[in-house]
Amino acid sequence: MGDFDLNNSSLRVGKMAELDVLIPHYNDVAGIAISLNCVARQTWPEPIRVVIADDGSNAGTVRALEELIEKCPFEVHLTRNPINRGRAYTRNVLLDSIDSPYVAWLDAGDAWVSDKDIDSNGCAKGLGGDNRGMEVGDLPL
C-alpha cells in the first residue's frame, strides 16, 4: 500500500513547496494510498506538499491514514472535520489551506499518469502572477 519512490528528489522536504496537491478524503485508505503513490511518481521539479482533508472518517480509518502518511517521502498535512460535513465544505477547507503558488486537485482513489504535471506546469507558468483570483474564462483553454 505504501511503496513510495524515495529516490524522487523533488518530493523531499526542506524547501517550501511550490505545489499543493489537495485531496478530500472519507473512509478510503486504499484510495488515498493510490493517490499518494501517484503523487510520489510525479516529475514536478519543485517540492510538493499534499494536503488531505478528512471529512469525519471513523477512528480506525484515521489511524490507518496517519500510519500511511508517516511513510510518505514528501510533506503531508492532514486536517480533519470532526463530523462528516460533505464534499463542498471539505473542498473549502482544502482551499483555505493553500500555501503554495500552484495547486492541483486529486480525489482519493484517483491517480494521474506520471507526466501529468508537465502539461499542468506549462499551463500554470504561462499564466504568470498570482492565479488565486482567476476566473474560468481567464484560463488559456
User: Would residue 86 count as lying in a domain?
Assistant: yes
User: Would residue 138 count as lying in a domain?
Assistant: no
User: Would residue 3 count as lying in a domain?
Assistant: no
Report, as an integer, the average pLDDT of 31-43: 91
Q: Which triple of cell numbers denotes residue 78? A: 492532514
Q: How far is CA 89 from CA 24, 32, 53, 57, 76, in A?
A: 10, 19, 10, 15, 20
User: Would residue 16 count as lying in a domain?
Assistant: yes
User: Would residue 43 count as lying in a domain?
Assistant: yes
Report, as an integer, the average pLDDT of 34-43: 90
User: Would residue 97 count as lying in a domain?
Assistant: yes
Confidence of residue 129 (pLDDT cuts 50, 70, 90): very low
pLDDT digits (tens, 9 = 90+) for 78-124: 999 999 999 999 999 999 999 999 999 999 999 887 766 544 554 44
More confident site: 134 or 39: 39
Residue-number span of the structural domain to which 103 is assigned: 9-118+126-133
CATH code for the domain in which residue 50 is found? 3.90.550.10
SS3 of residue 102 by DSSP: strand
Query: Looking at residue 120, what is its pLDDT?
Result: 53
Query: 35 and 107 in contact (C-beta within 8 Å)?
Result: yes
User: Would residue 47 count as lying in a domain?
Assistant: yes
User: Would residue 141 count as lying in a domain?
Assistant: no
Confidence of residue 43 (pLDDT cuts 50, 70, 90): confident
Query: Looking at residue 116, what is its pLDDT?
Result: 62
How many domains does the chain fold into?
A: 1
More confident site: 140 or 111: 111
Q: At what angle do helices 59-70 and 29-40 cross, to 10 degrees?
A: 20
Helix (H) or strand (E) holding 105: strand 102-105
Query: Looking at residue 22, what is its pLDDT?
Result: 96
For residue 37, what are the contacts with CB-CB under 8 A and spacing of at least 6? Answer: 2, 3, 4, 111
